[in-house]
Structure 1
């Protein structure tokens, strides 16, 4: 969650940090004047900010040193293409010395590894060129492990070249399979189509791989020391926690665009992790979200414009990668993606469009069941804009939407927080307050301080009817604060995946020059974790997230997913429980939960989803591939047959009819675009088995007399 602070607020929060650090910096003899060595200045400033201002008081010791050591080497060479065990033996003399070097602003370790990396990259050009100049033997019975964490670094240069051979052979094999399938499809359409021989396909595949490798190394050679040093800095700051990152000036500019401008094209927010471009999140209502195949944490490997040949974007600067992914409305972009779920490689075609910001705002739909009116409110994010006096505010929008729905006789609400990655803490508190009289919503804690209870102080309850909160594994941060409050107050039934994402921390972006004002060059920014959130019951939402009252099978059910899957994530802990009074709203809560679990267990639809989730997990765990063409093709055929079994996994159709609330009906008559969007949304709702079960739960809930409460 990025809590919106004004600059003065940031200063109040970390005044002591800034004052003491700036003074100490000016008094330090070898930094009395700006050091021409920008790298040393950055190390000096960052270590002081982090050790004094990060939520966790972490010592720069041998354990810290080992984290930086492993992270930096993995950041430069995740596929184990460059370093050998002989290199690591030399590097390891500094494995437990990096902390001491950082304290001295000493870059000996960085310089050794970085310069060796540059040397090995120059050699690599000759490796791949020579290996791709001759045909591969696809009759040989050998395998490759693509989970590089499972294999050691090559013992020596000869074994390193063999690693290269296998990786290039796999790329060539994949290309041959792709072209073979294209030929087979063409023959089905045109029996006179002339099929190319295997030898020809193999040669063309090697040529294509060589072309891609050459293009990759052209981009690598354009990178400068600042780019690689940023990798080292992120190894240092990332040792505090995975959400703490260093942003160079140009990356900060892209980060700002991530808030506003990076949404055009396919409607996805992207971020760089090591050499890869990851999908951070999808914009609700955007082209990628509507298309449905691209998901958060997927890795984009290649980008193609329509029918053109794809361009490899591995190791490409994020801003350059975005240029290829963006494009004019109506044009096609084809993304070659490594799926987070099962490590499979998939080509996803998306038609670019203008991302409609209106689709990121609150909207609702009304449905009838058993003679009663219910509504689903879609809340894509906890949005707010402080820069405009007439800003759009999710809390105000929710309040208005609820009031309109009450006017139409709606008796129960589903609040849909699926894929809601968070937003403003202020609006999360205010929206929670719409469903309770008043009381604490969340506890906020800074390092070394006692938790501060954030309360809803408005005694008014905007909605007193039944509530079901629909979540999934991508519901994070502010979504978890709201869902946790509803659960702790026993105000709503939480329905969805086993647990939500589990992000219970907040970061702020700090300009580094603020801490070292004498340095005239822009030093970049530090995004640093400064707070942690806790439920009113005292437990953190960090790692654990919010466990659903009713867990429904999803494609992520057996995956390691969310904050708990991030290396170095801050631990779960608890603080004293806040003083609050449970609403204990329902007289039949336990019965409704039991009934729902029975329906889900006996549902063929949910049983198939559960089987699908197990299959995805199995594929995720299978990271070894045969490099024998016949076996490779047979393995692919088996997976394709298995996949067909799950082709209809989400084919579901309910008898529910969804419609827009009355206030929107007049708008639909004059706005064809909005009308089309609502038709599509309502159609999707009627095909959504999770919404159907939420309606079943909602229809069974019985409100308790408000005088019956549990005191805490």
Structure 2
């Protein structure tokens, strides 16, 4: 009875706080409604269609795995499916409380269920059945009995999974099962409880999480690249696209024990200069502006958000050292170079001297309209590579999610001699052609551009322009298919209500065609681990349509590239390459075991072991074929980089790892062979 009264008191307190906070949510909702209508590329009317779409997205954000809400809750929520548009139009925000209240109860209920397992004995006899199905097949649990059964199976499976990971010999597992299960059970239970408490301890609390989830759903209904940002989200996003930022120079991670640890310290940063921080130090708490964030059962995302909060310029870190001592260390942010947002040129030597540059991000200096970013950095590295007399160049845009369109345009201009690069179309129908106005180019020798499913936006802008001019051979797999541009806008004049990243324009190729929801299709396609993962934009709800417009300016193509001859040689090489065969097999293995898995079997140690062992055996077989790929490439640094490295022993170690990674990368190796073929064809022409 006491527990019930305590929970009731907490709920009452929670709802009281909600009622006080609701006016701000109403202001945010009305502000974001007005902003979308005014600024979005294609705002949608507030009607029943919007209501249905936002309802679907909202529930998915609150309970994406359908493990909290039960069918009774969905029946309660169902009244809103066709009413959300009316609530929004009438500025009626009371509906949001019900979702928060029920989510709080369901998470608390899950915690009580899991707590209860501590005192009960689990059944591994096979009486219960494990069922696996694709995500789309999941339905909400019928009632609390199903909820108890779900968590029981989940924790039992996780216990067996962990035991098998620790000892891969079934005879040992069977012989020691009772003892090992007894030891690991409380750890697994605590880990599950901690995950739930992470949700409860989210920055701003569950009530704020629910409200921001609705704002996100409202904006995402207009297109999947538009989103709501609170102040911390906005700072984190802008920093990710910046070449340098105010930073402590600490990258955190959550280890297997649930501790927040220091994973990396950026050289030259405040943490590096301080000298008291070391990798693997445990962060116990963070304190800034009279706010203390304890790190127990808090997600790493919330730690990152606290550290990146632009108001928290000085933070006191409570650190537990490896010897067990505790230290309070105060740090103040300074401008720090972002290591991931830098480019370095490398040399690939094998029958030709080929340059290689990987571009992770189209970063820029957003504090200045003329700020220097990735295009300037690539130009510097290209200058170093040309001093080494390179014959060709590989630009690697795999996993590059985009960034600044200005940087993409500047980079494109480095490789062509004037002309249009892309056509922008605004919401009112007006168009504008982005042009390279500078005569000449920095590099006129052959280029291969590597892309994959995760190359998006500014990456696609650049790859498409180079492809349309016949300036480069695009190699890899079809890109993400995002041909839209976003800006971050405040919801109010003093930015107190937050921000929204909104899609305000679409961009088209200079041919007038769009790669929106289609992607840039490579000239030469290579097998990809991520094929058919359905991560591309066309699989996102409410993605913008593909269309085309009339081109505005003529452009002069360069001489056609001998793509058929190159593709023939490539096909022969790939067909006899065991590593690419392994990529295709690994891709099938992942799809069959994760995305399209549909199987069931009795919950026993032997059955879970059999299932896991079959998967792991195949994984090791295929991944070994990829990792053991031998290459004749000799990868080295430019003379300029070698000189810089001579003063930095730590960077030397990092550099050695990069050289090895490049040498063993089958995609870089194949890009290199394609360029060798092209150079040979050009010589014989």
TM-score, with normalisation over the residues of structure 1?
A: 0.75
Instruction: Please state whether the residue corresponding to 2:487 is helix, strand or coil.
Output: strand
Q: Which of 8, 27, 43 is the equivalent residue of 2:29?
A: 43
How far 1:113 moved relative to its partner? 2.8
2:120 is matched with which residue? 134
How far 1:142 moved relative to its partner? 0.6
Q: Which of 81, 103, 107 is the equivalent residue of 2:93?
A: 107
2:215 is matched with which residue? 233
2:491 is matched with which residue? 512
Q: How has the CA–CA distance of structure 1 residues 478 and 225 changed in structure 2, closer, same or farther, with 3 Å as cutoff?
A: same
Q: How has the CA–CA distance of structure 1 residues 56 and 637 changed in structure 2, closer, same or farther, with 3 Å as cutoff?
A: same
Q: How has the CA–CA distance of structure 1 residues 356 and 639 changed in structure 2, closer, same or farther, with 3 Å as cutoff?
A: farther
Q: Which of 609, 622, 644 is the equivalent residue of 2:597?
A: 622
Q: How has the CA–CA distance of structure 1 residues 586 and 540 changed in structure 2, closer, same or farther, with 3 Å as cutoff?
A: closer
Q: Which of 188, 192, 195 is the equivalent residue of 1:209?
A: 188
Aligned pair 1:609/2:583, yes or no?
Answer: yes
Q: Which of 50, 56, 81 is the equivalent residue of 1:70?
A: 56
Instruction: Please state whether the residue corresponding to 2:533 is helix, strand or coil.
Output: coil
Instruction: Please state whether the residue corresponding to 1:647 is helix, strand or coil.
Output: helix
Q: How has the CA–CA distance of structure 1 residues 373 and 47 changed in structure 2, closer, same or farther, with 3 Å as cutoff?
A: same
1:681 is matched with which residue? 658
1:343 is matched with which residue? none
Between the aligned partners of 1:578 and 1:330, the Cα distance in structure 2 is 62
1:59-458 to 2 correspondences below 5 Å: 59-139=45-125, 140-145=127-132, 147-178=134-165, 180-181=167-168, 197-222=176-201, 223-255=205-237, 258=240, 260=245, 264-266=249-251, 316=299, 318-320=301-303, 357=338, 360-370=341-351, 372-387=352-367, 392-458=372-438
More divergent stretch after superposition (63-72 vs 579-588): 579-588
Aligned pair 1:539/2:513, yes or no?
Answer: yes
Q: How has the CA–CA distance of structure 1 residues 126 and 35 changed in structure 2, closer, same or farther, with 3 Å as cutoff?
A: closer
Instruction: Please state whether the residue corresponding to 1:633 is helix, strand or coil.
Output: helix
1:25 is matched with which residue? none
Q: Which runs of 5+ in 2 are unaligned?
A: 1-19, 255-262, 268-279, 285-293, 309-314, 323-334
More divergent stretch after superposition (404-413 vs 68-77): 404-413
More divergent stretch after superposition (109-118 vs 320-329): 320-329
Between the aligned partners of 1:263 and 1:646, the Cα distance in structure 2 is 40
Between the aligned partners of 2:656 and 2:605, the Cα distance in structure 1 is 47
Between the aligned partners of 1:458 and 1:477, the Cα distance in structure 2 is 23
CA contact (8 A) 2:70 2:142 kept: yes
1:522-671 to 2 correspondences below 5 Å: 522-586=496-560, 588-620=562-594, 621-622=596-597, 624=599, 626=601, 627-650=603-626, 651-671=628-648
Q: Which runs of 5+ in 1 are unaligned?
A: 1-33, 188-194, 271-281, 287-303, 333-353
More divergent stretch after superposition (685-694 vs 670-679): 670-679
How far 1:551 moved relative to its partner? 0.8
CA contact (8 A) 2:281 2:320 kept: no
CA contact (8 A) 1:144 1:166 kept: no
Between the aligned partners of 2:319 and 2:383, the Cα distance in structure 1 is 37
How far 1:70 moved relative to its partner? 1.9
How far 1:494 moved relative to its partner? 0.6
Instruction: Please state whether the residue corresponding to 1:513 is helix, strand or coil.
Output: coil
CA contact (8 A) 2:475 2:523 kept: yes
Instruction: Please state whether the residue corresponding to 2:625 is helix, strand or coil.
Output: coil
Instruction: Please state whether the residue corresponding to 1:418 is helix, strand or coil.
Output: coil
Between the aligned partners of 2:136 and 2:376, the Cα distance in structure 1 is 48
Aligned pair 1:459/2:439, yes or no?
Answer: yes
1:300 is matched with which residue? none
More divergent stretch after superposition (217-226 vs 486-495): 217-226
Aligned pair 1:483/2:469, yes or no?
Answer: no
CA contact (8 A) 1:466 1:703 kept: no
Instruction: Please state whether the residue corresponding to 2:530 is helix, strand or coil.
Output: coil
Q: How has the CA–CA distance of structure 1 residues 510 and 483 changed in structure 2, closer, same or farther, with 3 Å as cutoff?
A: same
CA contact (8 A) 2:513 2:548 kept: yes
How far 1:665 moved relative to its partner? 4.1
CA contact (8 A) 1:363 1:377 kept: yes
Between the aligned partners of 2:231 and 2:169, the Cα distance in structure 1 is 44
How far 1:160 moved relative to its partner? 3.2
Between the aligned partners of 2:240 and 2:360, the Cα distance in structure 1 is 17
How far 1:436 moved relative to its partner? 1.3
CA contact (8 A) 1:416 1:469 kept: yes
Q: How has the CA–CA distance of structure 1 residues 597 and 91 changed in structure 2, closer, same or farther, with 3 Å as cutoff?
A: same
1:224-264: CA deviations, max 9, x gaps? 52232112222222212222222233444544555546795
Between the aligned partners of 2:473 and 2:633, the Cα distance in structure 1 is 21
Aligned pair 1:501/2:487, yes or no?
Answer: no
How far 1:35 moved relative to its partner? 11
How far 1:174 moved relative to its partner? 2.8
Between the aligned partners of 1:374 and 1:178, the Cα distance in structure 2 is 43
- What RMSD over aligned residues (CA atoms) do the two structures have, in Å? 4.0
TM-score, with normalisation over the residues of structure 2?
A: 0.78
How far 1:454 moved relative to its partner? 0.1
Q: How has the CA–CA distance of structure 1 residues 499 and 463 changed in structure 2, closer, same or farther, with 3 Å as cutoff?
A: same
Between the aligned partners of 1:638 and 1:124, the Cα distance in structure 2 is 32
Aligned pair 1:697/2:683, yes or no?
Answer: no
1:205-236: CA deviations, max 9, x gaps? 43223323444454444425223211222222
How far 1:104 moved relative to its partner? 0.6
1:17 is matched with which residue? none
Instruction: Please state whether the residue corresponding to 1:648 is helix, strand or coil.
Output: helix
How far 1:606 moved relative to its partner? 1.6
How far 1:390 moved relative to its partner? 9.6
CA contact (8 A) 1:465 1:703 kept: no
Q: How has the CA–CA distance of structure 1 residues 391 and 93 changed in structure 2, closer, same or farther, with 3 Å as cutoff?
A: closer
CA contact (8 A) 1:380 1:417 kept: yes
Q: How has the CA–CA distance of structure 1 residues 437 and 632 changed in structure 2, closer, same or farther, with 3 Å as cutoff?
A: same
How far 1:402 moved relative to its partner? 3.2
How far 1:315 moved relative to its partner? 8.2
Instruction: Please state whether the residue corresponding to 2:623 is helix, strand or coil.
Output: coil
Q: How has the CA–CA distance of structure 1 residues 674 and 157 changed in structure 2, closer, same or farther, with 3 Å as cutoff?
A: closer
Between the aligned partners of 2:194 and 2:679, the Cα distance in structure 1 is 64
How far 1:522 moved relative to its partner? 2.1
Between the aligned partners of 2:629 and 2:448, the Cα distance in structure 1 is 21
CA contact (8 A) 1:586 1:703 kept: no
